[in-house]
Amino acid sequence: MHICFITSEFPKTGFPHGGVGIFVATLGKALVEKGIQVSVIGLNYTDEEITENINDIDVYRLPRKKFEGLTWLYNSNAIAKKIKEVHQKVPINFVETAELGLAFLSKIKEIKYVIRLHGGHHFFTEKGKRHNWKVLQEKLSFKKADAFVAVSNYVKEGTNEFLSYHNKPIEVIPNPVETKIFQPAISQFEKYNIVFVGTVCPKKGLENLIEAFKHVVKKHPKAHLNIYGREWFFPNKTSYTNLLKSKCNNDLLESITFHGAVNHNKLPQIYQAAHVCVFPSFVESQGIVVIEAMATEKVVAFSKIPIGCETIVPFETGLLVDPLDAKDIAEKILWVFEHDKESKQIGINARKYVMKTYDIDVILNKNIQFYTKI
């Protein structure tokens, strides 16, 4: 079996990468270890072409070119050409990409094309704010798919409100976590250390988290909020981080640290050092950072949105918060600070749940069964 993933986010040292890139790197490595050939094709961060072999995954990074109004056509043609070239060397059984990825790709009849729903434009964007060009791309892309995988039931149902799966096979398979890497800490955590990990953007609920922190720090002056994640900019290029900072006085800013983007291999230590991990997002397709933190036996406070309720049993495997209610977020953080014994048990339960539901070996087998079936 030969699977070719289409993504430009496959991790590259010194450059930012998102959850899709981490997913492909994690699953790809596990597939290779099972004797399945894996290729990755995407755009490079520069205008040069690079071919690499990373953990026995063949990675093709194509030149990133820009042509006024025609960039999409050039890039699609370049990716399609590379797929054909790789297919001629070692026949590809499956091409997999995220929601937009098939829109302008020409198909090869011997290959099955799979869309994995990580959360696309229709899912994440409110109706009145959708971009017509991206809406068109997703519709075209979905028509070309032979099968679909959703990373959660929430993203499957949420996407189906706006886009048709055209009666093609669809299965829910969560993204995996390497529980041998994301393990409980040997050393003690840092008391009153609140950790957030994710893109620093409006949909992650950071404004309300900072408002909640104002209440927390009044009761526990030693509390510190550590925010890890890549920067996000408004269309006018202004920084969202700077907006968040402008809402804090100097005293409060001394208790908040914006660390910026960090390498994925540093996240286990970051979670392990936390007293509590808080993710008050307004919308998530799965929330892989939530699962990673749970795997390290941390108490996680996740949003009381459908995917949060799909993931966490309150006060058993984690906590749920109203992401719109700063007071509720603060109360849940304070509960963790003041209930050590109960919090420890929640962390233990959380890891057991992750091991059973999201461990790489469990998810690997589900993916192989899905590919074999289609």
pLDDT in tens, 185-226: 888 899 999 999 999 999 999 999 999 999 999 999 999 999
Mean pLDDT, residues 21-39: 95
Mean pLDDT, residues 71-98: 94
Best CATH choice for the domain 193-357 from the list 3.60.20.10, 3.40.50.2000, 3.40.50.720, 3.30.420.40: 3.40.50.2000
Mean pLDDT of the chain: 94
Percent of the chain clearing pLDDT 90 (strictly above): 84
Whether 140 and 103 have beta carbons less than 8 Å apart is answered as yes
Say if residue 68's pLDDT is above 70: no
**67-79 burial, b for 16+ CB within 10 Å, e for fewer?**
eeeeeeeebbebb
pLDDT of residue 373: 94
Distance, CA of 337 to CA of 327 (rounded, Å) = 15
Q: Which of 5-14, 85-94, 286-295, 342-351 has the lowest mean pLDDT?
A: 5-14
Say if residue 137's pLDDT is above 80: yes
The CATH number that domain 2-176+360-373 falls under is 3.40.50.2000
Sign of the C-alpha dihedral computed for residues 109, 114, 120 and 123 taken in this order: positive
pLDDT of residue 47: 83
Q: What is the CA radius of gyration of the chain?
A: 21
Say if residue 71's pLDDT is above 80: no
Say if residue 69's pLDDT is above 70: no
Say if residue 127's pLDDT is above 80: no
Mean pLDDT, residues 136-163: 95
Q: State phi, psi for 277 to the nearest 5 degrees.
A: -110, 130
* Residues β-bridged to residue 2: 37
pLDDT of residue 211: 97
Say if residue 19's pLDDT is above 90: no
Mean pLDDT, residues 319-328: 98
**84-122 burial, b for 16+ CB within 10 Å, e for fewer?**
eebbeeeebbbbbbbbbbbbbbeebeebbbbbbbbbbbb
pLDDT of residue 129: 85
Say if residue 278's pLDDT is above 80: yes
Of 174, 176, 181, residue with least CA distance to 154: 174
Which residue spans of the chain are classified as CATH 3.40.50.2000? 2-176+360-373, 193-357
SS3 106: coil
SS3 157: helix
pLDDT of residue 79: 95
Tell me, what amino acid is at 288?
I
Percent of the chain clearing pLDDT 70 (strictly above): 99
